[in-house]
Each structure stands twice: as C-alpha cells, then as structure tokens.
A and B are shown apart, each in its own frame.
Chain A
Amino acid sequence: MSSSETQGSDPAAQPGQDIMPNDEMSNATGFPIVTRTDFSETTFLLEVEHPQMARAARPGQFVIVMLDDHGERIPLTIADFDRDKGTVTLVIQAVGKSSREMQARCQVGQTLFGIAGPMGIPSEVSHAKKVICVGGGLGVAPIFPQARAFKEAGAYVIGVVGFRSASLVFWEEKFRSVCDEFIICTDDGTAGIKGLVTQGIETAITTHGDIDEVVAIGPPIMMRACAETTRPHGIKTMVSLNPIMVDGTGMCGGCRVRVDNKVKFACVDGPDFDGHAVDFDDLMARLQRYRPQEAAAMERYSESCKRLLVEEEVR
C-alpha cells in the first residue's frame, strides 16, 4: 500500500542512518518500536508493540502509520503479527520522502506517533487445496501471513517471491517453514530462477496441473502480469491493491479503483480483489496523481539531509 508515494519504482538507493533529529520521537506517548531489521539499503522491518492489534489482525489487512503530527497517513500492509508477543510487523521500502524519513528515524525504543488498524476486509482463506502465493517488491512480506494461513487451513502452498538480486532476499527460512515448495526469482539470476515471478508461476502451473488459486501481492505492474499469466488457465487470482488513500476508513474516496467496471473503495471494499476483474490501467494512472509533489518533497528532503550531514561534519 502506498500513500502519496508509490511503490515499485527504482529508488535512488541511499542508506539512511541517523541523519535526522529524533527529538519529536522521544516522547513517551505513541506506539513503541521493539525490533528493527534492515534487509537492504532500502527495505527494512519494524515490529511495533500493539497487543490489541496483534489479536485483531488477519492476513491481507493493512494499517495507517503516521511518523509525527506533520506526517502523512501512510498505508502499509501488515507483514506479520505475533499474538503472543503482542506485536505487528511492517516491512517498509524507502522510496519516497515519508518512507525515507521513517527509515532514518524509526529506531528500537522509539515510538510511532500513530498506527491505526487493522483496516480492510481480511483476505478470504478459501478451501483451495493447492495455492500459489506470489510476492514481489513490497509484496514479499505481506504474502507471508497469507501463505501461513493457507498452510494452516491444510492447503498445499507454493511460494513464489521475486527480488532484483540475491543480496536483497529476506525471510527465506520463514517462507520455507510454511511453503511446501518455494521458488525464488531474481532479475539477475543470482538466486533461484532468473526472471520475473510470472516465470515462477508458469513453472508451478506446468508442474502441477491442479492449482486452485493464486494470490499475488506486489507492484501493480507485477500483479497485472500475474493475473494475465493465470487468465488463460482460468485460475482464480486474488490481488491486493495499493491506491493512494488518506484516512483508510472509507471517508475520502481517494482509493477508488475500478473492478468489474464498478467503482470500489480499496480501503473498505478491499484491499483484495479478483485480479481478472481489476482495471490495472486505471489503478496505475491514479497512482501518478501526486508524482510532481512527491518528487519535490524527495528533492527537498534529500537536500535537508545533505545539509545536516555537512553540518555534522563541520561540528
């Protein structure tokens, strides 16, 4: 899910260390961050303490996060939840101003100004006997709870995940523990098969003639490719949509998407929809809405980071 920043684009890789002041984050209120793991220069994981939400969360749902009271409301799909520990896990790709700022400022022991959810209708874990769970980019993490739910429901689960390169791979063990088969696809072939997740799907469909369902989460262009791959085979394909939204509770209508030629609000009618009925052109065009402002915000943010770094060195 993304707010005014969109996923899937190639971010200018920029490691974000402690380059922004943390004053506002140090207050006692808010939601404590208990774990942070950096998977790569742009992808990182936050585990946030919220026992009530950990109890309520179901696969497929999302949260809205606010970094501080000047921040955006950023929608993020829940990557995992631990009911015993009382935490929810978010995996964030630092691609825009707000997510880069999160990368720089969210450290263990600090708090998030706001986290609301779980939002959206939980994914339907059907009685499918054999499913392919596909994750790419930002979708790798949130496909995990779905794969686990299908496994717990007794399905034969084939996991297919896509990365640019082997160095970016994360959660491999975690996936293998809930998948009967696990296929990694990389753009450069440094791990698993060389190619896109659609090749992984093709492989799985060819090997197993009896796939009941495919669930795909990732950038819109990937989800469309997955839907097109399964369409000729007539395999039910669910996708999780990530339009721009503000409140996440059905109030603004910014997240409206076209499914089966009808307008739906992704936040309250979704975020899961039948991939064969989704108008992906419409979704992708709408994701461009605030591109100029996003670029400007990024530019300003990078500038102020550089300035801070220089000041740091001078001191």
Chain B
Amino acid sequence: MARKTIRSIPQERAPMPVLDAAERATNFDEVSLGFDEPNALVECERCLICPEPACVAGCPVEIDIPGFIQKMLKKDYHGAWDTLTDSTFLPAVCGRVCPQEDQCEGVCAVAVSGGLEPVAIGRLERWLGDKAVKEGWKKKSHIETNRFKVGIVGSGPASMACAADLAKAGCKVTVFEALHAPGGVLRYGIPEFRLPNSVVDAEIANLEALGVEIRCNTLVGRLFTVEQMLEEMGFDAVFVGTGAGTPKFMDIPGENLNGVLSANELLTRCNLMHAGDFPKFDTPLEVGRKIAVIGSGNTAMDAMRVSKRLGAEEVHCVYRRTEAECPARQEELHHAQEEGIEFHWLTAPVELLGDAKNNVRALRCLRMELGEPDDSGRRRPVPVPGSEFEFEADTVVYAIGTSPNPILGQTSNIQLNKWGYIDTDDELATSLAGVYAGGDIVTGAATVILAMGAGRRAAASIRRYLGIRDSMSVYEPEHSGFENTLFGIDMSEKNFVHLRQI
C-alpha cells in the first residue's frame, strides 16, 4: 500500500450527528450521537499512521492510537478495542469527556503539518468503547491471584484505573465509596447528556468482572481510618483517590442567600439524586427563571446546560476574563452557545443582593479589562473604575473551582501540602508507608484522563512496593550478577503473576 500523504487522505472530518440545539436543551438525551461505522472508517482513513506518532505521546495514558486505527481499517474491531484497552480502562468515558484538542488531537500531524482538522481520535475511541459495551466484549484475562489485599478510597476515575490494574496483577481489590453509588465525578458530576449513566454502569461492571469488590456507603476516614486499613483490616497497600470535591465560594456579601448554590450541589442533586425527576425521586432542586453561573470551565458549562434542561428561561455565564481565556473545552463552549446560553465576558460579581425573603435577586457586577499577564501567563483582569451595574438573577451558581476534600486530612497523619492536597513523591507515594495517592486530591482539579493516568502510575508503584512482577516491564538482571535470581527471575519478587490473554 502506498504511504498515505496529507493529499491522499479525506480532507474533511467525517460528520458526527448531534441533537438539534433547540430540541436537546429541553431534555437530558446525549447531545453527541457518535459515528456510525462508515463514518468511523472514513475518519480512520484520515490517519497518516505516522512512524513516530505525536498523538501517543500526547495521550496521558499513551494509547497506541495508530495501532488501534490500523486494526479498525482492517475491520478487526475487537483487536482494535484490545489495543485501546491495553492502555485505557474507560474508552467509552474518555472518548466522550477527554479534552482531546489539548492532547492527542492537538498534536496530530494532519492538523499540525497538514493544516486540516485533526483526526477525530476521541470520537473513534468512543465508537469502539460503545461497540464493546453493545457487543458485551470483555477482556478475558487469566488472572493468577496473589495474597495481597489493596484498599482503594474513592471510586472515581483515578480509583477505577488503579483498581483495574491491581486486579489484573492478581491483588484482591476493595473499593470504598462514600456515596450510595460508585463512579465518583462520573456519577455525580458529569451530566447525563454528556456521559450517560449507562456508560458509567457498564464500566463499573467491567471493573467488577475483574473481581474488584465495590463497597458503597463507606466514608473512609470516619468509618475507619487509612491507618486502620493497614494496621487492623489487613490491607497491604492503600490508594487514595478522593478527588478535589469541595466547592469554592468567593467570600463576597450575600453568598448565603437562598438561591445561591455550588455547581457541585446543582449537579449532585440532578445527576446523583435525579432531582430532575422530582417528585418521582424525593430530592428537590429549584432552578429559577433566570440563572447566572459564575465561572466558565467545564463544570460551569455542565451547570448551565443542566439548568437549561431543568427549565430555566434564561441562563447566563458570568466570567471575569474573555472567551480566549475560557478554560472549558471548545466543544462544550460551542454546545452551550448553540443552546442559547448567554456569555458575559469581562464581568466580575462583587456582591449578591437579596430580597426581603432572603432569596437572591441580583448580582452587583464590575466590568473588567485585561491588564498585565499574571502567574498563569494569562492577562490579569482588572476592574474598570465606576463600571458597577446590577444583573438580575433568581439563582446564582458558583463554578469557580474546588478545593481538596478535608476528611482524610482531618482523620489521618497523611502529609498534606499547604493547600491541603496530599503530598506525594514522583512515585505517588505519600508520607505513610504503603499509602499512595493520585488524581485531583494530589494535583488539584484536572481531567478524567489525567486522573486515570495517575491511578495507573500509582498501581505500578504499588506493584513495585508489594514486589509483584510488573508484566508491563522487561526484567533486567542486576549488574552484580545472578546471585539473587533464579534463572534470571528476581528472587525478591513475592509472586510470579502471569497475565495472559485467552
């Protein structure tokens, strides 16, 4: 086959249907409908199969992207899914929620040197992930069990990835979740129209199929401590992936008025507690007529689009910088704009005003302009003198970021940094022997795929700590000779796990 060139590939991206903006803004159906098979194959044709693919390096979990695309072109979809899931445990999730434009697709040669739209790697990943769920494909690994017990705190993406890797390595893995349903941010945070709960359920089922036990309603730190897990409950190692779930407020007057809530509360009531189906479900959620969401990250987009679907007449985004600095994924911003959400850039609230019944009625805002660059390299917004104005709203939602959950810090001796995140070394080991941590609780709020990457790195560290042979790496005998080895197998290994695909 002649080598593909930028001229020989389809120039345009294969189309992916989305629900009509006016229609979808009234329901919770998934917005992006995904490729069909012919379109997926067209998109695969667009991949140049670069010999030194930048996309693999651009992926936090280093998926062999040209590898799975080549298998797809041969219509070996199961094989392609195998390649994909060698690196990622949650293709149906990541295909939907990864910021591909900053990762694999951002460095794709088709775009960087070819000047075309990059290969839609995320959509191809999603297509394979969905196909696997639909066809019931399972990674049938033969797992040789060992004697190690590993406890995992939290059940979000970092924990799921860590649990999967350790279960594959033969450990008895138990995941502890404080809420009544597993999945962490995938469950309570990301709304149904962006990541259907059925997809999360399928990924959780895959985890359980690997032998992982998930225990909900278990608040680690308070029901038992991390130290007790190691000392009394027989866990040989612990992974902490509790996330950065504590919502931030701005500490401006009026924040305690009724009708002011965090995006976390809005999304939790809606996604986890199904408040949208009140009174069939018991948890209420009152969205007003005119909603203002402060912040413009992905969480803000989710909060705004959820509000719209819950029946708000007007949804406004209030952000102190400009659209160029907007931290949300472009696709999310674009979808939000399509759905009629109004954006007020360079606007900062300074006070929330209430009515006689203690309900919020308006925001007092300042107009901003961009000044000198700040520490993050973005131009710092500075207030325009005398630009104060009132902005009417009966619900105000804060989506300006999160801080670390304080419970583990309160209940264990694990060392935190000055912002309250868990301190780890490069191996993700914490100050407590045998305790590893990863995801948002270490780095601060980031993405699903970065959390998964951290979960996998921690799993590798835990395997090393427990002395489990790492099936991913080739054993190198020590330079000093063979005195500690048996036919080249390190005698300090505590098991000889085999992982073989059937």
| Chain B 179-202 interface 0/1 with A at a Cβ cutoff of 8 Å (1 = within) | 110000000100000000000000
Given the known inter-chain contacts A72-B273, A116-B218, please indicate yes or no for A253 contacting B262, CB distance below 8 A: yes
Distance (whole angstroms) from the CB of A18 to the closest CB of chain B:
20
Is A247's CB under 8 angstroms from B178's CB? Answer: yes
Q: Tell which of B255, B258, B410 touches A121, judged by Cβ atoms closer than 8 Å.
A: B410
Is B223's CB under 8 angstroms from A249's CB? Answer: no
Residues of B within 8 A of A293 (CB): 278, 284, 286
Is B284's CB under 8 angstroms from A116's CB? Answer: no
| Chain B 23-45 interface 0/1 with A at a Cβ cutoff of 8 Å (1 = within) | 00000000000000000000000
Q: Tell which of B278, B283, B406 touches A268, judged by Cβ atoms closer than 8 Å.
A: B406
Residue B401 interfacial (CB < 8 Å): no
Residues facing A in B245-261 (CB within 8 A) are: 245-247, 249, 251, 255-256, 258, 261
Given the known inter-chain contacts A251-B405, A293-B286, please indicate yes or no for A116 contacting B246, CB distance below 8 A: no
- Closest-by-CB residue of A relative to B278 is A293
Query: What CA separation (Å) do A115 and B286 show in the bound complex?
Result: 26
Query: What CA separation (Å) do A282 and B260 show in the bound complex?
Result: 13
Is A249's CB under 8 angstroms from B280's CB? Answer: no
Given the known inter-chain contacts A114-B217, A119-B219, A250-B245, please indicate yes or no for A70 contacting B282, CB distance below 8 A: yes
Residue B281 interfacial (CB < 8 Å): yes
Is B284's CB under 8 angstroms from A4's CB? Answer: yes
Given the known inter-chain contacts A117-B219, A251-B246, please indicate yes or no for A70 contacting B280, CB distance below 8 A: yes
Given the known inter-chain contacts A70-B281, A114-B180, A263-B255, please indicate yes or no for A250 contacting B246, CB distance below 8 A: yes
Residue B222 interfacial (CB < 8 Å): yes
Query: What CA separation (Å) do A294 and B262 show in the bound complex?
Result: 21
Query: What CA separation (Å) do A314 and B364 show in the bound complex?
Result: 60
| Chain B 261-274 interface 0/1 with A at a Cβ cutoff of 8 Å (1 = within) | 11011001100111
Q: Tell which of A56, A97, A121, A285 touches B282, judged by Cβ atoms closer than 8 Å.
A: A97
Interface residue count for A (Cβ, 8 Å)?
Answer: 48
Residue B377 interfacial (CB < 8 Å): no
- Closest-by-CB residue of B relative to A251 is B245
Is B269's CB under 8 angstroms from A246's CB? Answer: yes
Distance (whole angstroms) from the CB of B266 to the closest CB of chain A:
9
What are 24 A-B contacts defined by CB distance under 8 Å? Answer: A52-B223, A56-B224, A61-B222, A70-B281, A72-B283, A73-B180, A97-B282, A114-B180, A116-B180, A120-B222, A246-B268, A246-B272, A247-B178, A250-B407, A251-B188, A251-B245, A252-B265, A252-B269, A253-B246, A253-B247, A263-B249, A265-B246, A268-B246, A289-B286
Residue A290 interfacial (CB < 8 Å): yes
Residues facing A in B46-72 (CB within 8 A) are: none
- Closest-by-CB residue of B relative to A53 is B223
Residue A256 interfacial (CB < 8 Å): yes
Given the known inter-chain contacts A116-B180, A263-B256, please indicate yes or no for A56 contacting B279, CB distance below 8 A: no
Is B251's CB under 8 angstroms from A263's CB? Answer: yes
- Closest-by-CB residue of A relative to B180 is A114
- Closest-by-CB residue of A relative to B223 is A56
Residue A235 interfacial (CB < 8 Å): no
Residues of B within 8 A of A98 (CB): 282
Query: What CA separation (Å) do A52 and B407 show in the bound complex?
Result: 18
Given the known inter-chain contacts A250-B405, A253-B249, A254-B261, please indicate yes or no for A288 contacting B223, CB distance below 8 A: no
| Chain A 62-80 interface 0/1 with B at a Cβ cutoff of 8 Å (1 = within) | 0000100111110000000
Give A residues with C-beta under 8 Å from B.
4, 52-53, 56, 61, 66, 69-73, 97-98, 113-121, 246-247, 249-254, 256, 258, 263, 265, 268-269, 282, 285-286, 288-290, 292-294, 296-297, 300
Residue B5 interfacial (CB < 8 Å): no
Query: What CA separation (Å) do A296 and B251 show in the bound complex?
Result: 33
Distance (whole angstroms) from the CB of B265 to the closest CB of chain A:
4
Residues facing A in B214-235 (CB within 8 A) are: 216-219, 222-224
Is B284's CB under 8 angstroms from A297's CB? Answer: yes
Interface residue count for B (Cβ, 8 Å)?
Answer: 43
Query: What CA separation (Å) do A285 and B274 show in the bound complex?
Result: 25
Query: What CA separation (Å) do A61 and B223 show in the bound complex?
Result: 11
Query: What CA separation (Å) do A160 and B467 show in the bound complex?
Result: 59
Residues of A within 8 A of B255 (CB): 256, 263
Residue B141 interfacial (CB < 8 Å): no
Distance (whole angstroms) from the CB of A253 to the closest CB of chain B:
4
Distance (whole angstroms) from the CB of B208 to the closest CB of chain A:
15
Query: What CA separation (Å) do A239 and B229 show in the bound complex?
Result: 32
Given the known inter-chain contacts A258-B256, A263-B255, A288-B258, please indicate yes or no for A246 contacting B282, CB distance below 8 A: no
Query: What CA separation (Å) do A251 and B405 show in the bound complex?
Result: 7
Is B268's CB under 8 angstroms from A252's CB? Answer: yes
Distance (whole angstroms) from the CB of B138 to the closest CB of chain A:
25
Distance (whole angstroms) from the CB of B430 to the closest CB of chain A:
20
Query: What CA separation (Å) do A97 and B222 show in the bound complex?
Result: 29
Residues of B within 8 A of A297 (CB): 278-279, 282, 284
Residues of A within 8 A of B246 (CB): 250-251, 253, 265, 268
Residues of B within 8 A of A263 (CB): 249, 251, 255-256
Distance (whole angstroms) from the CB of B402 to the closest CB of chain A:
9
Distance (whole angstroms) from the CB of A247 to the closest CB of chain B:
6
Q: Tell which of B216, B265, B281, B407 touches A254, judged by Cβ atoms closer than 8 Å.
A: B265
In addition to A117-B219, A253-B398, 12 A-B residue pairs with Cβ atoms within 8 Å of each other are A4-B282, A72-B283, A113-B180, A251-B245, A252-B247, A253-B246, A265-B246, A268-B407, A285-B256, A286-B358, A289-B258, A297-B278
Residues of A within 8 A of B283 (CB): 4, 72-73, 246
- Closest-by-CB residue of B relative to A283 is B256
- Closest-by-CB residue of A relative to B258 is A289
- Closest-by-CB residue of A relative to B281 is A70
The 3 closest A-B pairs by CB, nearest first: A293-B284, A252-B265, A285-B358
Query: What CA separation (Å) do A52 and B268 show in the bound complex?
Result: 27
Distance (whole angstroms) from the CB of A254 to the closest CB of chain B:
5
Residues of B within 8 A of A282 (CB): 256
Centre residue among B217, B224, B269, B358 by max chain A CB count within 10 A = B217
Centre residue among B179, B278, B281 by max chain A CB count within 10 A = B179
Residues of B within 8 A of A53 (CB): 223
Residues of A within 8 A of B179 (CB): 116, 247, 249
Given the known inter-chain contacts A66-B180, A116-B180, A252-B264, please indicate yes or no for A296 contacting B279, CB distance below 8 A: yes
Distance (whole angstroms) from the CB of B310 to the closest CB of chain A:
13
Residues of B within 8 A of A70 (CB): 274, 280-282
